[in-house]
């Protein structure tokens, strides 16, 4: 598909977008309730997933061209919200004065964690959108440090710390089979959260993208990997503070991993050079999963189904009990820019 001119106008963006399927059918009510689509976005009931890529985003070595990365982020946001400026797009997600959490995923260390450069680009745009207080957070300070983030527990502006700093709530949050203590960073510090997972395979749960990344908000993720994470991943995301506070998902696919995850395995990484952006974690996970499956096919790896780790939790997250989004391809508006 030919890439649109940069920056995309609303008209050019709409021309370049395509729908996976076309009709709204029986699932309208279910998904209509679950997915908070931006008002000027796709047709009602559809979830948009923007895949923004730039083959020239790399500078020398393993680094990234920060200017091109910022532009990629801007294009993705504009395409997600039909806006002519990235600031306008961010203002559709967040309100000035809110404390915004940037939930990164650092388990893979510096090899396949959320890129620091991406987070820097986001914080810059958030400042421009009037957000003055941000918290970059994940499970532990040590995880963040391994992924090159510098711990800053105090101060105004951008703080950065793990769940080990503030700990967890005393009372259990429950949904379905999940019963967990939520981290206080989420419940007491953040008004809103931008989820920044990584595009990668997971040796038990199939893939770990937007939904599963929120395991980093609970005290007992080790309890939820049975049965390839189904229904636990969906149950955890359905915990009220998570589903209510997470506003947007930006999946870091600058480097992606199609096998051997979640640990960093360089032999199974590939330069996807892109971002996946959506307000719907289920739709994003569905699209991300298919990207990983496609890459697995290209590289001769077995489909996840054959390995008994197909991420069934994605469809569970879309069911009538959870209503976290849609995984119906007919209802996913996949936009490639």
Partner 1 sequence: MRADTLAHSGEVCGIESPGGLDRRGFLKAASLPCLAVCSGALVGLPRAAPLFATPPAPDADSQFIREAKFYEKLPYKKIKCKLCPRECVIDDQERGYCGARENRGGTYYTLVYSRVATAHIDPIEKKPFFHFMPGAVAFSLATAGCNVNCKMCQNWDISQVRPEQVRATYAPPDKITAIARENSCPVIAYTYSEPVIFLEYVLDCAQAGRAAGVRSVVVSGGYIQADPLKKLCAQVDAIKIDLKAYSEKFYKEVVNGELKPVLEAILTVHKAGVWNEIVYLVVPTLNDGDAEFQGLARWVKSEVGPDVPLHFSRFHPEYLLKNLPPTPIETLERAKAIADAEGLHYVYIGNVPGHPAESTYCPHCRKKVVDRTGYTINGVYIRHGKCQFCQTVIPGVWT
Q: Which residues contact 236 (CB under 8 A, 6 or more apart)?
A: 175, 178, 180, 214, 215, 217, 218, 221, 224, 242
Choose the stretch contacting partner 1; rule: CB under 8 A; options: 69-77, 78-86, 107-115, 244-252.
107-115
- When asked if residue 170 is in the footprint of partner 1 (CB under 8 A), the reply is yes
Q: Determine if 7 is a binding residue for partner 1 (CB under 8 A).
A: no
Of 258, 273, 279, 270, nearest in space to 118 by CA: 273
25 binds partner 1 (CB under 8 A): no
Shortest distance (Å) from residue 225 CB to partner 1 = 7
Q: How far is the CB of 190 from partner 1 (least distance, A)?
A: 20
Query: Could you say whether residue 262 binds partner 1 (CB under 8 A)?
Result: yes
- Alpha-carbon distance 30 to 211, whole Å? 18
Closest approach of Cβ 44 to partner 1, in Å?
37
37 vs 218, beta carbon nearer partner 1? 218
* Residue 220 to residues 16, 146, 217, 334, Cα–Cα distance (Å): 43, 21, 9, 34
Is 130 among the residues that bind partner 1 (CB under 8 A)?
A: no
Task: Give residues 273-292 in contact with partner 1 (rule: CB under 8 A).
Answer: none
Bridge partners, 285 (sequence order): none
- Phi and psi at residue 64, in whole multiples of 5°? -125, 150
The DSSP string of 79-110 is: HHHT-SSHHHHHHHH--TT-EEEEEE--TTHH
- Of 69-77, 123-131, 215-223, 246-254, the segment contacting partner 1 by CB under 8 A is 215-223
d(CA 67, CA 33): 38
263 lies in the site for partner 1, by CB under 8 A: yes
Q: Does 300 bind partner 1 (CB under 8 A)?
A: no
Secondary element (H or E) of residue 245: helix 240-245
Contact footprint for partner 1 (CB under 8 A): 107-109, 164, 167-168, 170, 172, 174, 179, 181, 203-204, 219-220, 222-223, 225-226, 260-263, 265
């Amino acid at each position: 598909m030919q890439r649109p001119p940069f920056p995309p106008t609303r008209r050019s963006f709409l021309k370049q977008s395509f729908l996976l399927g076309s009709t709204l059918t029986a699932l309208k009510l279910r998904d209509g309730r679950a997915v908070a689509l931006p008002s000027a976005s796709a047709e009602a009931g559809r979830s948009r997933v923007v895949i923004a890529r730039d083959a020239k985003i790399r500078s020398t070595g393993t680094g990234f061209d920060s200017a091109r990365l910022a532009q990629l982020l801007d294009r993705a946001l504009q395409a997600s919200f039909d806006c002519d400026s990235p600031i306008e797009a961010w203002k559709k997600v967040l309100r000035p004065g809110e404390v915004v959490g940037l939930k990164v995923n650092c388990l893979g260390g510096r090899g396949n964690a959320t890129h620091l450069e991406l987070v820097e680009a986001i914080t810059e745009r958030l400042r421009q959108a009037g957000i003055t207080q941000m918290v970059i957070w994940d499970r532990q300070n040590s995880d963040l440090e391994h992924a090159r983030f510098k711990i800053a527990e105090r101060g105004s502006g951008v703080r950065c710390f793990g769940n080990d700093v503030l700990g967890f709530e005393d009372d259990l949050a429950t949904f379905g089979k999940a019963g967990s203590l939520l981290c206080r960073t989420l419940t007491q510090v953040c008004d809103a959260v931008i989820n920044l997972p990584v595009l990668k395979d997971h040796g038990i749960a199939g893939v770990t993208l937007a939904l599963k990344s929120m395991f980093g908000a609970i005290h007992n993720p080790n309890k939820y990997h049975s049965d390839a994470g189904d229904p636990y991943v969906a149950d955890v995301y359905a915990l009220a503070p998570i589903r209510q506070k997470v506003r947007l998902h930006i999946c870091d696919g600058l480097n992606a991993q199609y096998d051997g995850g979640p640990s960093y395995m360089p032999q199974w990484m590939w330069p996807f050079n892109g971002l996946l952006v959506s307000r719907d974690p289920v739709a994003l996970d569905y699209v991300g999963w298919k990207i990983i499956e496609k890459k697995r096919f290209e590289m001769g790896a077995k489909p996840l189904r054959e390995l008994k780790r197909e991420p069934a939790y994605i469809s569970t997250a879309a069911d009538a009990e959870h209503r976290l989004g849609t995984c119906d391809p007919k209802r996913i508006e996949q936009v490639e820019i």
